[in-house]
Amino acid sequence: MDGADIVLAIVVATALAFDFTNGFHDTANVVATTISTRALPPRVAVTLAALLNFVGAFLSLAVATTIANDIVDQALVTTTIIFAGLVGAIVWNLVTWYFGLPSSSSHALIGGVVGAMLVANGTSAIDFDGLAGKVLVPALIAPVLAFAVAGIGILVCYRIVGRLAPGPVSRGYRLGQVLSGGMLALAHGTNDAQKTMGIITLALIANGNLAADAAVPTWVIVSAATAIALGTYLGGWRIIKTMGSRIIKMDPAQGFAAQSSGSAVILAATHFGYPLSTTHTISGAVMGAGAAKRLSAVRWGVAGNIVVAWVLTLPCAAIVGGLVYGVTHLFGDGAAGPVIVAAAGVAFTAYVFVRRLQQGAAITTTAEGTST
């Protein structure tokens, strides 16, 4: 095994680590409303989401290189740049997870790769029009559109079932949430596991292990699906609490309206080839479902923190990605840089997890807002 193969192995491991953080970070958004309205017990909801994420990863096998397409000059992409971008994304995911804030893992990955690319090749390697059109504009559109759709949706729900006995109505919407939450989890698995598959495939092509037009290897599909499903199953409780009860206290109708609206927006955008963030969409839908009932029902301070995290995601991940590339490059073009940075990254991740565990274990939420 030569230096290039060692770097490739580190990139693959880092990509799977990113996929894992993507699972426990983003999928929390998907199941939070299901848990907070008691549509499903927490462990059942998370297990179901993990299974659907796993299945979703196999649904579409088109090579997902869109992270690099239209944003950076692919001819200049190296395994070291991919590695630095992944580390930038993982660090930002851990920071936002630590504070319980939902932020886009896709934006973190794009930010990390753009930052590393800027340090490696300068501004000429970045397609700023692509960055604006594919990332920044959708980041503005997704939450606003989901907010509006969920807001109108919940008003329609209340209009139709408003005079019925609350018991059967709540049971009905809880049942609906199993379906709408399942659709969200499936869409998430399809979208996000694909990004990791694309990144690993890109690294294999860059290293000469695969031809440029090669299909995604089966081991890549299985490992990416497993990593995102495992991450989903094991974590995300802090963000589940933020999404499920800190923004608004949801009733089952609001949970259903938020999830079904979020699914509709994501799938409509997918159908027309317009890239939207799952995180931004479902966060906007949750706020919309709350605000339509009563503006003061939304904790705008928490919503503001989430928006700040969204705004900071790209630049912060880019800064970390750029720094990691710079540090890696100090050790030359061989395997030494990635090995040292990866070892430091593992130590940092372990430190964050241990600190988090020392501060508090799993968080549970209830529809009535009592949380422990």
Partner 1 sequence: MPALATKVVDFGQLAEVIYVSLIAGVGISLAFSIVIRGAVRAGEHRRTRPVVAGAHALMAVIGLIVVLAAVVFGVSTMLSK
Interface contacts to partner 1, rule CB under 8 A: 56, 59-60, 62, 129, 132-133, 137, 141, 145-146, 148-150, 152-154, 156-157, 160-161, 164-165, 168-169, 172-173, 176, 179-180, 183, 186-187, 190, 256-257, 260-261, 263-265, 267-274
| Count of Cβ atoms closer than 10 Å to residue 43 Cβ | 11
Structural contact between residues 84 and 13, judged by C-beta atoms closer than 8 angstroms: no
| Alpha helix stretches (DSSP H) within 207-299 | 218-234, 237-241, 252-271, 278-293
Q: What is the dihedral of CA 83, 88, 89, 95, to 10 degrees?
A: 140
For residue 168 the two structure tokens come to 């059967």
The three-class DSSP label of residue 294 is: coil
Least separation in angstroms between CB 182 and partner 1: 9
Shortest distance, position 232 Cβ to partner 1, whole Å: 17
Q: Residue 269 CB, nearest distance to partner 1 (Å)?
A: 5
| Residue placing its CB nearer to partner 1 in the complex, 226 or 260 | 260
| Least distance to partner 1, CB of residue 217, Å | 20
Pick 50 or 157: Cβ nearer partner 1: 157
> CB of residue 318 vs partner 1: minimum separation in angstroms?
19
Nearer to partner 1, 93 or 180 (CB): 180
Q: In whole angstroms, how close is the CB of 340 to partner 1 at the nearest point?
A: 39
Cβ nearer to partner 1, comparing 120 with 285:
285
Nearer Cβ to partner 1 (22/190): 190
The radius of gyration of the chain's CA atoms, rounded to the nearest angstrom, is 20
Report residue 308 as tokens. 């700040």
28/57 with CB nearer partner 1: 57
